[in-house]
Amino acid sequence: QVQLVESGGGLVQPGGSLRLSCAASGFTFSNYGMRWYRQAPGKERELVAVITSLVGVTDYADSVKGRFTISRDNAKNTVYLQMNGLKPEDTAVYYCNVRGVPVGGSRYDYWGQGTQVTVSS
């Protein structure tokens, strides 16, 4: 029963900050890289940030580089996305994702339900 549960979204003014959390369960969290995606109205879902399982290397979309930080706490089975300097174009539903978890002889991707981030004055 793999589960990903996002929280921390909300309404924030331009230039403000939010910290998103994704609580994971049902798999060995520390063995997997984790990802944050977002999807704005009328647009395709895009990869925002990645953190690897082993060394903890991170990478970001160019649009958020320098403003967002992905991190993880393996003791809490939680991945975070710290978002600073928010812009209206950051408005989207943000999703936590894990790829390739083995279940019943196959590997699957899992997604959280999403959390809404709205940046508006």
**Across all residues in the chain, what is the average pLDDT?**
96
Given this model, what pLDDT does residue 83 score? Answer: 98
| Strand extents, DSSP E, 1-121 | 3-7, 10-12, 18-25, 34-39, 46-51, 58-60, 68-73, 78-83, 92-103, 106-111, 115-119
Q: What angle do CA 21, 25, 29 make, to 5 degrees?
A: 80
Is pLDDT above 90 for 19? Answer: yes
Contact between residue 20 and residue 81 where contact means Cβ atoms under 8 Å apart:
yes
Contact between residue 48 and residue 36 where contact means Cβ atoms under 8 Å apart:
yes
Q: In percent, how much of the chain has pLDDT > 90?
A: 93
Tens digit of each residue's pLDDT (9 = 90 or more) over 56-102: 899 999 999 999 999 999 999 999 999 999 999 999 999 999 999 99
Identify the residue with better confidence: 19 or 1: 19
Given this model, what pLDDT does residue 55 score? Answer: 77
Given this model, what pLDDT does residue 86 score? Answer: 98
